[in-house]
Amino acid sequence: MPRRVGAFVAVLLALFLAPALAEDFPARNITIIVPQPPGGGTDIISRIVGQQLSQQLGVTVVIENKPGAGTIVGTQAVAKAEPDGYTLLAGLTANMAVNPSLFKHLPYDPIRDFTPVGMMAEFPFVLVVSNNFPAKSVKELIAMAKEKPGQINFASAGNGTGQHLSAELFKLMAGVEMTHVPYRGAAPAYTDVISGRTPVFFDNLASGLGQIKAGTVRALAVTGAQRAPLLPDVPTIAEAGVPGYQNTVWFGLWAPNKTPPAVVQKLHAEIVKAVATPWVKAQIMHDAGVPMQTPLAEIEPLVKADIAKWADVVKRANIQVQ
C-alpha cells in the first residue's frame, strides 16, 4: 500500500474509531497518579473527586501515590503512560506551572507531554502573623518592612513551595524586603510563627485555618480574588493594600499527550458533573477550597499564564532548588 494511501486510511480509521472508543470508555478501572504523599491537599481532593467519578462511571477510580523529587516522579510516570485515558495525573500549580522554572532539567513538559482533562478546585493562601507582631494589617506590615528592610522574617514550608512563592510575589508587588526562613513543612514553621521568632507566614488556608480558629495566630489577609467564605471578615491582599495581588493553588486532572480527544471530552464532562455535585462541592468548601468549573479550552491558557507568572517571580527572587 502506498505511503499516502496508508496514512489516509489511518486517519479514516481514527475518525471512525474515536466515537466508538468514547462510547465504550471506561471498560476497566482508572488510575489517578498523585505525585505527593497520602494525606496532603492533592491526595484529598483527588480522592473526593475520584470517589464521585467511580459512582458516575461505574468503575473503580484508584488513587496511587507516587511522591518524590518535588512531584517529578509521579508526574513523569504519567507522561510516559499509555495515552488511553486510564492513567491520569493529579496536576497542581507546583508540578504544572512552577517546576518548569524551578528545575533546570525537568524530565517532562507540562504543555507538550499532557492533555488537560478537567479542573477540580482551587485553594487560597492566608497571610498570618504571630499574636505579638505589631502590624495589625497588610498596610502596617508593608510600612514596617519598608522601615526595616530585611529585618522581618517570614516562614515557608520549604524553598520553592507555594508558601515561599506567595511571600516572594508579595515582596515584589509591595516593594518590600523580608528574610526567608524555610522549614521542613508547615507544622515546624508554626512553632516559630506562634512564638514570634519568624512572625510572618503565607500558609495554605486549609492548614492555617485551624491555627486561626484556635487563636494562636492572626490572619491579615487571604490571597484569592475574593474573600474566603470561611473567613468572611478577612480581606484579600488586593483590597488590603496590594492591588492586583492574587495567588491560589489549583488542582486538576491531566492525561498523557495523544489521548483520544473523544475520551478526553467524555472524561471532562464527567469531571464537570462530579465537581458540581452537592457532596463534592461541600467537601471542597469544608476544606477551604473553591470548586472549579473551567471550560476545557481555557485550561491550557491558564497553565501557560501561570508558567510565565512564576518564571518571572523565580527569576527576580533568585529562587534555586538545585
Residues 223-264: pLDDT tens digits? Answer: 999 999 999 999 999 999 999 999 999 999 999 999 999 999
What integer pLDDT is reported at residue 10 of this predicted model? 47
- Strand 114-130 to strand 217-222: parallel, antiparallel, or no bridges (unpaired)? antiparallel
Banded pLDDT at 321 (limits 50, 70, 90): confident
| Per-residue pLDDT at 7 exceeds 60 | no
Q: For 26-64, how does the pLDDT look when each residue is reduced to its tens digit (9 = 90+)?
A: 999 999 999 999 998 999 999 999 999 999 999 999 999
172 contacts 313 by C-beta, under 8 angstroms = yes
What integer pLDDT is reported at residue 269 of this predicted model? 98
Banded pLDDT at 19 (limits 50, 70, 90): low
Cα dist from 105 to 72, 101, 108, 321, whole Å:
11, 10, 9, 12
What integer pLDDT is reported at residue 11 of this predicted model? 46
What integer pLDDT is reported at residue 225 of this predicted model? 95
Mean pLDDT of 162-168: 98
Banded pLDDT at 322 (limits 50, 70, 90): low
Q: What percent of the chain has pLDDT over 70?
A: 93
| Per-residue pLDDT at 9 exceeds 50 | no
Q: For 92-145, how does the pLDDT look when each residue is reduced to its tens digit (9 = 90+)?
A: 999 999 999 999 899 999 999 999 999 999 999 999 999 999 999 999 999 999
The residues with which 130 forms a beta bridge, in sequence order, are 217
User: pTM higher than 0.75, yes or no?
Assistant: yes
Using omega within 30 degrees of 0 as the cis cutoff, is the peptide bond preceding 295 cis? no
Mean pLDDT of 14-33: 77
| Per-residue pLDDT at 280 exceeds 70 | yes
Question: Per the structure block, which three cell numbers stand in for 153?
Answer: 522574617
Average pLDDT, the chain: 94
Q: What percent of the chain has pLDDT over 90?
A: 91
What integer pLDDT is reported at residue 145 of this predicted model? 98
How many CA atoms are closer than 13 Å to the CA of 160, on its beta-carbon side? 19
Banded pLDDT at 21 (limits 50, 70, 90): low
What integer pLDDT is reported at residue 299 of this predicted model? 98
| Per-residue pLDDT at 13 exceeds 80 | no
What integer pLDDT is reported at residue 249 of this predicted model? 97
Helices 296-317 and 162-174, interaxial angle, to 10°?
A: 70
Instruction: Name the phi and psi angles at 84, rounded to 5.
Output: -120, 5
Domains identified in the chain and CATH numbers: 3-123+249-317 (3.40.190.150), 124-240 (3.40.190.10)
Mean pLDDT of 271-294: 96
Could you tell me which residue, 18 or 39, shows the higher pLDDT? 39
